[in-house]
Amino acid sequence: MKPVITDWDAADYLATREDQALYLDACIAEADGDAALIAKALGDIARARGMAQVAAASGLSRESLYKGLSIDGNPSFSTVLRVMKTLGLELHASAKKEATSA
């Protein structure tokens, strides 16, 4: 019997705000400057919450959110901030740890 392979969707596992914040933090840490990965992570969180509800609450169209918050999307920074605010997430900055010489 052949094994059954199904698509894995991060949105299916992002049930709580804490899970969503940890997921976004992990994606930011791993992105290494890849803005598309961060946009995709926000899209995953928005889908977990319900894209239609996020769109309505943010004042953005559902279609523009799907497009902008995909791996091929390129949302404006203001869109990212609006979506994060709608999702109840905050943007933080911290000093980058400097590499130490051995």
Q: What is the pLDDT of residues 22-72, one digit of tens each?
A: 999 999 999 998 999 999 999 999 999 999 999 999 999 999 999 999 989
Nearest to 71 by CA among 29, 10, 17: 10
Averaged confidence pLDDT in the chain: 92
Residue 100 lies in a domain: no
Instruction: Establish if 36 belongs to a structural domain.
Output: yes
Q: What string of DSSP letters covers 56-91? A: HHHT--HHHHHHHTSTT----HHHHHHHHHHHT---
Q: How far apart are CA 80 and CA 83, in angstroms?
A: 5
In a domain, 4, yes or no: no
| Mean pLDDT of the 75-80 span | 94
Domain housing 24: 12-87
Question: Greater confidence, 101 or 55?
Answer: 55
- Residue 93 inside a domain? The answer is no
Look at the chain and report how many structural domains it folds into. 1
